[in-house]
Structure 1
Amino acid sequence: MYLFIFSVLLLIFQYVNSKNIIDKYEEDIVKVKAKLLEKEKTIKALKDKNFELSYFSIDRNEDALSYFEALGYDTEQLIPAIIDGLYDLNDYEGEDHPIVPYVSMTDSKLVINKVRVMNHKWIVANFTDGEFWGEIFVTYTIDENNDLKYKLAEYFLYPKIG
């Protein structure tokens, strides 16, 4: 009789314990699924924002890429060459940057930091001397000798605040 009661109590204990474990797992699964859904929404929003931000980029401009391909250029080599050509202008002697129309107001040289090729004619870049920042709008062409020619179209320097 004692063995029977002990067995029943043991079975009840096992049942309650297993039920609690299963309920905890189900609760955890629901929480993880909710977090996963939230992360998927965040990823979708970030992908949409990235697509929107990269709208003015030659990588997404099929017409600009077709323009270069029609002229016989390999865009996978040409676009990095365009960007590198602008960065190469950072290697200059004296105080005057070859394309940035300002002179450094610190002991550092003005350098171009970031370049975005927008299409087959336009580039936007920012520059700094470490303390002052600005941006330039540059047009570019490729001449008959396949040399890149850059021409400054617009520029500005952010005012120093503080």
Structure 2
Amino acid sequence: MRSKIFMYMFIFMLMLTIFIYVNDKKILEAKQNTIELLDAKVKGLQTENDSLLSKNLDLNYFSLDQNDGAITYFEDRGIDAKELSQKVEDAIISRNRAEDDNELIPFAGMEGVMRINKVKILNHKWIIADFTDGTYWGELLLSYDLDENNNLILNTEKSFLYPQD
């Protein structure tokens, strides 16, 4: 009788061991598949990130921050390009008035007051800006320079309004 109990216990332990082995193998394979999927996803995201970084560099090609020649131009005159960039943007946006059109925009507001919304400094001489009155909008190209006292001189070179559909 004792030998039968040991035999049944042995068979039970053997079946339990096989069950645990098969179960653990399935769990391990599932985890491995998850790891492979996540690795593929990470590689895809890294590729997308590299692509976006490259695109960002291309988009910032015409930017004072990325233009070494323009930065050197200002450094040779003893001017910090980052400070000047902020000063120029502030000077342009500060010309937006509560009741009057911005004097840099050569169009009168038809549905409101014309205001400059966004400014991008391209280099040491050119700025592009976006303006609107709430209904009509356009863009303008500005030139800028500093006089001998480092006062900012802004001139509107070209501008246009987008046609209303």
TM-score, normalised on structure 1? 0.95
Deviations 1:92-112 (A, max 9, x none): 653x42110111111x31111
Report the identity percentage.
41
Per-residue deviation, residues 51-76 of structure 1 (Å, max 9, x unmatched): 00000000000000000000011222
Instruction: Tell me which of 102, 107, 111 is aligned to 1:102.
Output: 107
Pick from 53, 58, 71: which aligns with 1:52? Answer: 58
Residues 1:7 and 1:92: Cα distance change in structure 2 (over 3 Å): closer
Superposition deviation, residue 160 in structure 1: 0.9
Q: Could you list the runs of 5+ residues in structure 1 that have no partner in the other structure?
A: none
List gaps (5 residues or longer) in structure 2. 1-6
Q: Runs in 1 of length 4+ with deviation above 4 angstroms?
A: none
Q: CA deviation at 1:79?
A: 1.1
Inter-partner Cα distance in structure 1 for 2:139 and 2:98 = 19
- After TM superposition, list the pairs within 5 Å mapping 1:1-162 onto structure 2: 1-91=7-97, 93-94=99-100, 96-106=101-111, 108-161=112-165
| Partner Cα separation in structure 1 for residue 89 and residue 145 of structure 2 | 13
Which deviations, in whole Å up to 9, do the C-alpha atoms of 1:17-50 show, x marking residues without a partner? 0000000000000000010011001100100000
Letter in 2 for 1:43: N
SS at match of 2:120: strand
Larger Rg: 2
The 1:92/1:70 distance shift into structure 2, 3 A limit, reads farther
- Alignment coverage as a number of residue pairs: 159
- Looking at structure 2, the residues matched to 27 and 105 of structure 1 have their Cα atoms a distance apart, in angstroms, of 62
Give, as a single letter, the amino acid of the residue that structure 2 aligns with 1:149. I
Q: CA deviation at 1:91?
A: 2.4
CA distance in 2, matches of 1:49, 1:142: 32
